[in-house]
Amino acid sequence: MNESARIVTFKMDGREIGAREDETILQVATDNGIFIPTLCYLEGLSAMGGCRLCMVEVKETSKLVPSCVTYAREGMEVITNSERLAKYRIMLLELFFAERNHICAICVANGRCELQNLTVNLGMTHVHFPYFYPRVPVDASHERFVLDHNRCILCTRCVRVCAEIEGAHTLDVMTRGMDSRIITDLNQAWGSSVTCTRCGKCVNVCPTGALSEKGKAVADIAVKKQFLPYLTRMRRGKQ
Amino acid sequence: MSKMKIATVWLDGCSGCHMSMFDMDEKLIDILEKVDLVYSPLVDAKEFPEGVDVTVIEGGVGSEEDKHMLELIRARTHMLVSYGDCAVTGNVPSLRNRFSVDDLIKRSYIENVSAHGDGGGNVPGDAVPRLLPVERPLHEVVRVDVFIPGCPPRPGLTYFMLKELLEGRMPDLKEKTRFGL
Ligand code: SF4
Ligand code: SF4
Ligand code: SF4
């Protein structure tokens, strides 16, 4: 955060709001108790604007903008919730479900999954699109962790935490579009990775059941995301 | 006023959804006093009747028979309820969708059986409905009026839904259930 950042005033959902010019709309909304759904954003990691769930309306343009990478500007008018946004957000959720094989009833993350929770919060009742049913593998070669591509939504939180916080950059994304896959090192089995430090940060930030720890019953699994903002603050030398 | 005609149907599911309906215990009596259960795995009716007010369906569409039944039910039902994850999403039975039907049959009736030493090779013939290439949720085949996710939906929810429908309201199930559960 830039110490000399100016303060801007703008409107969010009709409220007059003051914010620093280096704050994103998502940060300002969160600070003001306004809920904007996201899946790829996580405090402490770089923002990538990938999942598109955090899109908001901005008065001067008809385009929707991702609030996690859009900065507050003087005089702007933002709407974080409208019928149009609700419709698109549900559509996005449905596309996540249609693209892989998310079978919640038998998933390790059942009951603590961010994707599943959003279906409840945003009111998604079923998927209007035909399911794709891709045949994707599960990599259980690591001695402690499992990567199940059936549940992956390509949010890249795991990639970013591994590169930006752990500094290992074991994980990455291969190919494009619907064929995109999370890979370890040069697309080799995770168990054979020489860069992975086995820190488990990736497992802790995964919003779905795509990354999990071996040998734990579903009820015992607790994800710890709080470590991220703490680590980032410490690195900046600020407590 | 004549009683509301209700049906419950078991397509490609595990019967857990029906078990959950019974789990509403004494509330069942409350419901059954107000309705006629005209067709159900519990009722000895051979053919799905005409003019049913509400049909609650468990399970997805996995075979040609499921598809035929569902289309018949839709034509004879006013309000169709997709009940439980198998009906709403495909759920567990849809795990097979990544494999071809031929591979599935081979795995189930030949390889797995012979692995247990009893010969195998008895692939079911005409007496068993043919599987469709993929298991599908109900709404991909017919129009659905009410969606109730959950594996299975909680008993109290079924009571709430039926009560609402009985009183002529569209049940608002938002935040009351979820996929997986
Ligand atoms: S365990 Fe740690 S080092 Fe290994 S892939 Fe996950 S975040 Fe990277
Ligand atoms: S494995 Fe998890 S954290 Fe990584 S991209 Fe997939 S869903 Fe996101
Ligand atoms: S939704 Fe769950 S309980 Fe209901 S039929 Fe399917 S597997 Fe069984």
ipTM: 0.91
| Residue B92 in contact with ligand 3 by CB distance below 6 A | yes
Q: Are strands B77-83 and A64-66 parallel, antiparallel or unpaired?
A: unpaired
**pLDDT at residue B18, as a whole number:** 95
Residue of B nearest to A102 (CA): B91
Average pLDDT over residues B2-25: 94
**Higher pLDDT pick, A172 / B25:** A172
**pLDDT at residue B115, as a whole number:** 60
Binary contact (A126, B90; C-beta < 8 A): no
Among the listed residues A51, A89, A84, A83, the one whose alpha carbon sits nearest the alpha carbon of residue A68: A51
Binary contact (A120, B92; C-beta < 8 A): no
Residue of the CA atom closest to atom 3 of ligand 1: A196
Question: What is the separation of C-alpha A63 from the centre of its chain, rounded to a whole number of angstroms?
Answer: 22
Q: Does the pLDDT value for residue B93 go beyond 70?
A: yes
Residues having CB within 6 Å of any atom of ligand 1: A 161-162, 166, 168, 170-171, 196-202
Residues 6+ apart with CB under 8 A from A4: none
Q: How far is B113 from chain A, CA to nearest CA, in Å?
A: 25
Residue of the CA atom closest to atom 8 of ligand 1: A162
**pLDDT at residue A35, as a whole number:** 97
**pLDDT at residue A239, as a whole number:** 44
**pLDDT at residue B4, as a whole number:** 94
**Higher pLDDT pick, B67 / B114:** B67
Binary contact (A103, B95; C-beta < 8 A): yes
Average pLDDT over residues B74-102: 97
Residue B91 touches partner A, C-beta closer than 8 Å: yes
Binary contact (B140, A130; C-beta < 8 A): yes
Give chain A's residues under pLDDT 50. 239
β-bridge partners, B79: B54
Nearest ligand, measured from the Cα of A167: 1
pLDDT per residue as tens digits for the range A153-200:
999 999 999 999 999 999 999 999 999 999 999 999 999 999 999 999
Contact A66, A89 (CB under 8 A): no
**pLDDT at residue B123, as a whole number:** 82
Rounded mean pLDDT of chain B? 92
Residue of A nearest to B153 (CA): A105
- Best residue for ligand 3 mutational test, from B58, B81, B83, B136 (most atoms within 8 Å of Cβ): B58
- Distance, in Å, from the CA atom of A214 to the CA atom of A193, rounded to the nearest integer, reads 17
**pLDDT at residue B125, as a whole number:** 78
Contact B7, B77 (CB under 8 A): yes
Binary contact (B149, A134; C-beta < 8 A): no
Question: What is the separation of C-alpha A105 from the centre of its chain, rounded to a whole number of angstroms?
Answer: 22
Q: What are phi and psi of A86, to 5 degrees?
A: -60, -40
Q: What are phi and psi of B114, to 5 degrees?
A: -70, -25
Percent pLDDT > 90 in chain B is 73
List chain B residues with CB under 8 Å of A106: 92, 95
- Distance, in Å, from the CA atom of A199 to the CA atom of B127, rounded to the nearest integer, reads 55
For residue A168, which atom of ligand 1 is closest to its CA?
3
Q: How far is A16 from chain B, CA to nearest CA, in Å?
A: 31
Q: Name the pLDDT band for B117 (thresholds 50, 70, 90).
A: low
Q: What are phi and psi of A56, to 5 degrees?
A: -130, 165
**pLDDT at residue A223, as a whole number:** 67
Average pLDDT over residues B70-76: 98
Percent pLDDT > 70 in chain B is 95
